[in-house]
Amino acid sequence: MDSGGGGIKAGDEKSPLETGDGNHHHVHLHNQFFQHPLKMVLLFAAVALSCLVLYHSAYPFEFFPSSYNPSSAAANLSSPVKYKENSDLESVLKKASTADKTVILTTLNEAWAAQNSVFDLFLESFRIGNGTSRFLKHLVVITLDQKAYARCSAIHPHCYTLSTDGIDFSGEAVFMTEDYLKMMWRRIDFLRTVLDLGYNFVFTDADIMWFRDPFQHFYGDADFQIACDYFKGSSSDLNNYPNGGFNYVKSNTRTTHFYRFWYTSREKYPDMHDQDVLNMIKHDPYLTEIGLHIRFLDTQFYGGFCEASRDFNKVCTMHANCCVGLENKIHDLRIMLEDWRKYKSLPPNQKALNLLSWSVPQDCRSSFKSLHAPNKNETQKTKS
């Protein structure tokens, strides 16, 4: 945001250096200055203070007190995100952000960005949702390859390419394959970068349909709040089963330290994706040490194929989770949008009765039939 300000206009008042003989006056001031050591000290102090202010503006989190242990692996994180990427990214984020520096983020590769694929359904949900089209101006699409970027740029104003040297993310990343794991961890590291730049974000997978304003049910006291595959009834219960495909994160020292810790924890839990690692570290004393406040989002508002929202009058988002295979997702997401259109076409008195139910999952159910809902009395791995 531009800030206004006043100043002396050219010609209103001349500098003392511009009066009389310029050379003679410069020598006179030079000699006079160096005869007063106090003036020299004040000058150097002013320069040092200016540098400090500029540094703090560029790196606003460096001066916040923290109990974060600098000797830990997380503190010594070496990020693959280049400085030039950060600079370009900040420009995109600034254009899309709200007044309080909040953006909506999603990631896409070529397979998901192709015409009539997931991306088109995702954008359509914003347009047919109740009051959700206004959020499109705050949506930044992070593309993982050049073809995805080209498609995004053709139909959406805020696109950014996140390249990773030596890795091709353009094809379908099948659940739990090596490419899938690399993509998920690249995403976590990238989101940490967004927090470092001072932006709050809602991260949403592109296979999540937006039907109502999700902000209305977020918790004001939480640093990090995340959707669930299975919700146990309390937003503070760490035994909920989180899903990394949808979360709202505030930018502060607690969340930046948390994302570093989450990212480096992949080394402690190899061959696990980010969601399972989160399930392992959510009880870690380190999160209490840094004061991170976590909340879990109720599936009645933020549902999915694992555990659907049962009330069309309350649902904000629906996720094609517990589903393996791109074609299965596309098939069922199309049906989901049709279900929503049927609901919107009902007269108010029939909407109030809440008689509709989702026609999905269909193909997604069969794709995931070998996996069962977890025993809610113990912590198990979640499903993406």
C-alpha closest to that of 203 among 226, 220, 185: 226
C-alpha closest to that of 370 among 330, 332, 314, 325: 325
Q: How does residue 272 score in pLDDT terms, banded at 50, 70 and 90?
A: confident
Higher pLDDT: 377 or 249? It is 249
Q: Which of 27-31, 108-112, 244-248 has the lowest mean pLDDT?
A: 27-31
Q: How does residue 274 score in pLDDT terms, banded at 50, 70 and 90?
A: confident
Topology classification of domain 83-308: Spore Coat Polysaccharide Biosynthesis Protein SpsA; Chain A (3.90.550)
- What is the mean predicted confidence (pLDDT) over 16-35? 41
- 182-210 pLDDT, tens digit per residue, is 777 788 999 999 999 999 999 999 999 99
Give the other-Cβ count within 10 Å of 268's Cβ: 11
Separation CA 230–CA 242 (nearest Å): 7
The helix or strand, by DSSP H or E, that contains position 136, with its residue range, turns out to be: none
Tell me the whole-structure pTM to 2 decimals: 0.74
Decide if pLDDT at 60 tops 50: no
Higher pLDDT: 170 or 340? It is 340
- What is the mean predicted confidence (pLDDT) over 111-115? 95
- What is the mean predicted confidence (pLDDT) over 120-130? 98
CA angle 117, 96, 180 (to 5 degrees): 40
